[in-house]
Amino acid sequence: MFATVHAQQDEKAKNILDQVRIKIGSFQSIQADFIFTMKSTELGINEKNEGNIILKGQKYCMDLPDVGMKMFSNGETTWNYMKDGNQVTITNISDASELMDPVGLFNIYEKGFNPKFLQETTVAGKTVYILELFPDNSNNMDVSKISVNIDKSTIMLQSVLLYGTDGNQYGIEIKNMATNKNFPDSEFVFDAGKFPDVEIIDLR
């Protein structure tokens, strides 16, 4: 009986995630404001920062003003700008960590994870599905578990909490979201002209 219920929960989780994937894939673009948290008991860190992101296919632009960091990617190249030091680091997207890829947060469950349905409950006045994702043998990410909250009414991500194998926790909570806005491709490329005297570190 336990095995049957367990299999049904896994299938339900997969069905929900498939709906999320289809929904996200139908959008031309996504713009979202979010809260990013990072907690490390070992290092005594418990940070919370607000940010915003624009996604268009594999392109993105993410801004964390409280941290002084802005990331751009045109789907091939990534620019990581740090206000402190006024420098930008350029890398190929293939060299970037999947864990820190903003696009990956919206489809991280599609490869290397086994999803499980936990419950349907109410969070902040919204009915949400709570799922957990566990890495399978093909997964090479430094994650032991991912907890995902999905808004039942919109079938969209509400929050994601990643448990790193190093004991750290990384969370993203979506505050609000807009879709299908028209963003030019220039939004996803670092423009050195807008950052006077910027130091460029090209690691490609």
DSSP classification of residue 168: -
- The whole-number pLDDT of residue 2 equals 39
- pTM assigned to the model: 0.81
Tens digits of pLDDT across the chain (204 residues): 434 444 455 889 989 998 998 888 899 999 999 999 999 888 888 999 999 999 998 899 999 998 899 999 999 999 999 999 999 999 998 765 555 566 666 666 666 788 899 999 998 888 999 999 998 876 667 888 999 999 999 999 899 998 988 889 999 999 999 999 999 999 999 999 999 999 999 998
- Neighbouring CB atoms inside 10 A of 35's CB total 14
Check residue 143 and give its pLDDT: 84
The pLDDT of residue 187: 95
User: Is residue 26 classed exposed, middle or buried when 0-12, 13-18 and 19+ CB atoms within 10 A define those classes?
Assistant: exposed
Nearest Cα neighbor of 142 from 204, 100, 187 is: 100
In this prediction, residue 100 carries a pLDDT of 56
Q: Which of 40, 37, 36, 39 has its CA nearest to residue 63?
A: 36
Going from the C-alpha of 106 to that of each of 57, 102, 177, the distances in angstroms are 11, 7, 13
- For each of the domains in the chain, give its residue range(s) and CATH number, in order of start: 2-202 (2.50.20.10)
**Amino acid sitting at position 119:** Q
Consecutive H or E run containing 172: strand 169-179
